[in-house]
Structure 1
Amino acid sequence: MASAIPSRPIKAVAAGVPLACVAAASFLALYQAWGEGRAIAALAVQDRMLAQGLPLLPQHAPSLPPQSARAILADILLRARAAQLMRDDDPRRVLLLGQAQGQLDRIEGARPYWGEYWAVRAFVMAMLKGDRSPNTVGAFNRSYRETPYIYQSADWRVDYALRNWGSLSPDIRPHAIREMVWLARREFTDRDRLIPQIRETDAYRLFMIEWLAVRSRDADFSPVEGLPPQ
């Protein structure tokens, strides 16, 4: 009589397959995160070099994980900042901005909601096509609709909003005002730099209303009539 094939080992193997798949997927995710972290760290080092007045050429960028949208966005921003320091007629500037735009197009659909992406896109488009081009304005507006506050991009978004206050759409102005207040509350240095800048624009009245409404809830706030907000 033929012996029956034992089913327990088969069941054990079958049960182990999903676990192995999960483990492999976890390993790949960790490996990609490690590669992404290394790339972003390298880009941060280059960004600090750039801040010291050392423009970087495209070939100096580190290799990036092929599927890492975050690392690619950091690389785009590095190229855009390098281009920002160059003269308008510098051929390297055109090259860097063209590469940045190509990479932006590549990762546009990487995440369903990604305000940081749209802020960087607006930054690049402003240099390529001007502050008030439809591409720039559309990206800027979408960045606020998707992410009201962005730590890394707040300074540029506020500067852009103040430069173009008269042309901002009514639904975007409140977003910009709230980020101005948030930015002014972030650090004393931000407040001391930002408030005089806002005072010179038509945004000042709306900023003051929001600033006083927010600051009045703080224990350390005691406004003095006739003085600028503190």
Structure 2
Amino acid sequence: MLASAACLAGCVLAGHMLQDEWLAVVITRAATDRSATARDAVLEAYGDRAPANLPVRAAAPLAQLALDGARAGATPALRALDADRAEGLIRHLRDVRPGWDATLLLVAQRELLVHATATPAAIDAFSASYRERPFHNAAAIWRIAFARVYWTALDPVTRRAAIEEAVWQVRYDNGQRGAVGDQLGPHAPRKRDIPR
């Protein structure tokens, strides 16, 4: 009898974990797709869930989708709704994963959205993202662009980290060399110029 109850509990737990994993995959795929249709569909389906009822690994991509919607939503009302969604998700992430690189980048992006410039909180979060994850392939272009625009506000350690990330992106050409060049213009490091 006890074994049957344990087996049933295990099955329920496995089902719950599978559901969480599926949800995280759906949200992450929509975030990497970057299409407005996928973004809006996922936000419509999951955007109003309490952040505590989402798997933690789904909260960051959902917050990214909400920030994207807040920037580019179809109507002012939808942009405001997505900004509120992003705020709630980021607040939750700051509570449960405060030093997570994704949380730090979301804080910086949210500050830019709300204030239209890099606040001290955005600069601090941005700098901390380099301490947490010096090389971040998925966010590298955004981080390089941020560093280029707010260079004078960055401390020397963060500047160095941004340069190293740009060089790494160019040297190992993981498909982003052109995007780095677009960000840095004529000053972009070329592979042949980088010492081995």
**TM-score, structure 1 as length reference:** 0.66
Amino acid of the structure 2 residue aligned with 1:51: S
- Cα deviation per residue 1:47-101 (whole Å; 9 max; x = unaligned)? 46652666617433376882521111121111112222238x8232122112211
Cα distance in 2 between the residues matched to 1:48 and 1:114: 19
Following superposition of structure 1 onto structure 2, how do residues 22-171 of structure 1 map, counting pairs within 5 Å?
28=13, 31=15, 33-47=17-31, 50-51=34-35, 56=40, 58-61=43-46, 66=53, 68-86=55-73, 90-111=76-97, 113-171=99-157
Q: Is the 8 A contact 1:181 1:211 kept in 2?
A: no
Following superposition of structure 1 onto structure 2, how do residues 135-214 of structure 1 map, counting pairs within 5 Å?
135-187=121-173, 189-199=175-185, 204=187, 208=189, 212=193
Aligned residues: 190
Stretches of structure 1 that go unaligned for 5 or more consecutive residues are 1-12, 218-230
Deviant stretches of 4+, over 3 Å: 24-28, 30-33, 44-50, 52-55, 62-65, 185-189, 207-212
Q: Is the 8 A contact 2:31 2:64 kept in 1?
A: no
Cα distance in 1 between the residues matched to 2:87 and 2:160: 29
Per the alignment, do residues 123 and 48 of structure 1 end up closer, same or farther by CA in structure 2, a change over 3 Å counting?
same
Q: Aligned pair 1:216/2:191, yes or no?
A: no
Cα distance in 2 between the residues matched to 1:211 and 1:119: 31
Q: Is the 8 A contact 2:170 2:180 kept in 1?
A: yes
Q: Is the 8 A contact 1:129 1:136 kept in 2?
A: no
Which structure has greater helix proportion? 2
Q: Is the 8 A contact 1:55 1:85 kept in 2?
A: no
Stretches of structure 2 that go unaligned for 5 or more consecutive residues are none
Q: CA deviation at 1:27?
A: 7.7
- Cα deviation per residue 1:200-230 (whole Å; 9 max; x = unaligned)? 5xxx4xx759984xx433xxxxxxxxxxxxx
Cα distance in 2 between the residues matched to 1:33 and 1:185: 40
Question: Residue 37 of structure 1: SS of its match in structure 2?
Answer: helix
Tell me the equivalent position of 1:5: none
Question: Residue 138 of structure 2: SS of its match in structure 1?
Answer: coil
Amino acid of the structure 2 residue aligned with 1:41: V
Per the alignment, do residues 129 and 185 of structure 1 end up closer, same or farther by CA in structure 2, a change over 3 Å counting?
same
Relative contact order, CA 8 A, sep 6+: which one is greater? 2
Q: Percent identity?
A: 21
* Cα RMSD (Å): 3.7
Q: CA deviation at 1:186?
A: 4.5
**TM-score, structure 2 as length reference:** 0.76
Q: Is the 8 A contact 1:116 1:153 kept in 2?
A: no
Per the alignment, do residues 31 and 183 of structure 1 end up closer, same or farther by CA in structure 2, a change over 3 Å counting?
farther
Q: Is the 8 A contact 1:35 1:65 kept in 2?
A: no
Cα distance in 1 between the residues matched to 2:73 and 2:101: 27
